[in-house]
């Protein structure tokens, strides 16, 4: 399959007009590049849901705080294009910042999803989810796909996008894809590249602790205790946890005792990386 690479909104709308004139359905996989097996699983899933697949690669400045890793976020366009040529992908959109924010970032129209934006990662990264909602709405408007595919690894982001789409009544289905993990359970993430060998060995604890939280919830233990001991376990393993919680799977609200489905979610700093992960408790 030949891969078309586009960089401007005009090129994109001309391409999509031609594609739509054939009657083909479209799935969009939004990414920030530095693609790994987790992203490729999203593309594979997208190809099962629509006739044509588009991937966007854009390191979105509005979702990074001033002290965060926007400048050092790994950018690997050649590798990404090589990886995308191995999966069923028709179109890659790699816009420069001016194409996505033509009036400049300070003047950019922003979108906000109250409730889901301020908790957990949103509490630690003020404004992060406004940036995510803003860029996702821009991408959905540009592509107008039938389906858009997101990883469950960013579970809070997935719920936020679902809420955005439901509240605005956008005609797109949001598909979540389970997290792809290394053999030892560490969730694949572009930020794993920041880990040295020692931190990489430590990082696997995040996944182990989340699974253990799930087992304890299913055994009927009290939420506060599970969460407290999860934080202790992460600290004892040399991680700096930000949160380790059990929340309702549907909306991240506090669950009633024994309620299901819930999700165990955690974020922790490991060496130079801030990692997040979550585990379903069905």
- Report the interface residues with ligand PAF, using CB under 6 A: 30-32, 60, 63, 132, 135-136, 154, 157
Which of residues 28 and 186 has its CB atom nearest to ligand PAF in the complex? 28
220: left (phi over 0), alpha (psi -120 to 50) or beta: left
Nearest distance from residue 101's CB to ligand PAF, in Å? 12
Nearest distance from residue 132's CB to ligand PAF, in Å? 5
Looking at residue 181, the DSSP 8-state letter turns out to be B
- Candidates 54, 55, 64; CA nearest to 20 is 54
Is the bond preceding residue 19 a cis peptide, omega within 30 degrees? no
- Cβ–Cβ < 8 Å for 269, 244: no
Which of residues 188 and 201 has its CB atom nearest to ligand PAF in the complex? 188
Nearest distance from residue 63's CB to ligand PAF, in Å? 6
CA distances from 212 to 209, 218, 247, 256 (A): 5, 10, 15, 19
Phi, psi at residue 65, to the nearest 5°?
-75, 165
Nearest distance from residue 191's CB to ligand PAF, in Å? 11
Structure tokens at 16: 């999509």
Phi, psi at residue 245, to the nearest 5°?
-140, 160
Structure tokens at 249: 């799977």
d(CA 41, CA 65): 28
Nearest distance from residue 32's CB to ligand PAF, in Å? 4
Which of residues 150 and 217 has its CB atom nearest to ligand PAF in the complex? 150
- Candidates 265, 216, 220; CA nearest to 241 is 265
- Cβ–Cβ < 8 Å for 33, 77: yes
Which of residues 63 and 192 has its CB atom nearest to ligand PAF in the complex? 63
Active-site choice (36, 39, 128, 207): 39
Q: Is 39 a catalytic residue?
A: yes
Q: In what order do the strands lie in the sheet with 4-6?
A: 4-6, 91-93, 52-57, 26-31, 147-151, 173-177
Nearest distance from residue 31's CB to ligand PAF, in Å? 5
Which of residues 132 and 262 has its CB atom nearest to ligand PAF in the complex? 132
- Candidates 19, 3, 102; CA nearest to 55 is 3
Q: Which residues are catalytic?
A: 39
């Amino acid at each position: 399959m030949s891969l078309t690479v586009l960089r401007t909104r005009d090129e994109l709308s001309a391409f999509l007009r031609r594609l739509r004139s054939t009657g083909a359905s479209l799935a969009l996989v939004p990414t920030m590049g530095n693609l790994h097996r987790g992203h490729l699983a999203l593309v594979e899933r997208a190809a099962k849901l629509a006739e044509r697949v588009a991937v966007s690669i854009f390191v979105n400045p509005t979702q990074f705080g001033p002290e965060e890793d926007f400048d050092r976020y790994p950018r690997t366009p050649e590798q990404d294009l090589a990886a995308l040529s191995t999966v069923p992908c028709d179109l890659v959109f790699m816009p420069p910042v001016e194409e996505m924010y033509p009036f400049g970032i300070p003047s950019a129209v922003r979108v906000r999803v109250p409730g889901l934006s301020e908790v957990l990662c949103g509490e630690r990264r003020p404004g992060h989810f406004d940036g995510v909602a803003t860029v996702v709405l821009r991408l959905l408007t540009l592509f107008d796909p039938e389906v858009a595919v997101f990883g469950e690894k960013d579970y809070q982001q997935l719920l936020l996008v679902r809420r955005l789409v439901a509240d605005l009544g956008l005609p797109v289905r949001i598909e979540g894809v389970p997290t792809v993990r290394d053999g030892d359970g560490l969730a694949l993430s572009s930020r794993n590249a920041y880990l040295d060998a020692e931190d990489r060995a430590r990082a696997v604890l995040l996944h182990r602790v989340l699974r253990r939280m799930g087992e304890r919830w299913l055994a009927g233990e009290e939420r506060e205790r599970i969460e407290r001991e999860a934080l202790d376990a992460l600290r004892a393993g040399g991680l700096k946890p930000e949160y380790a919680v059990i929340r309702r799977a549907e909306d991240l609200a506090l669950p009633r005792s024994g309620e299901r489905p819930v999700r165990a979610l955690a974020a922790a700093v490991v060496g130079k990386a801030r990692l997040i992960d979550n585990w379903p408790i069905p």
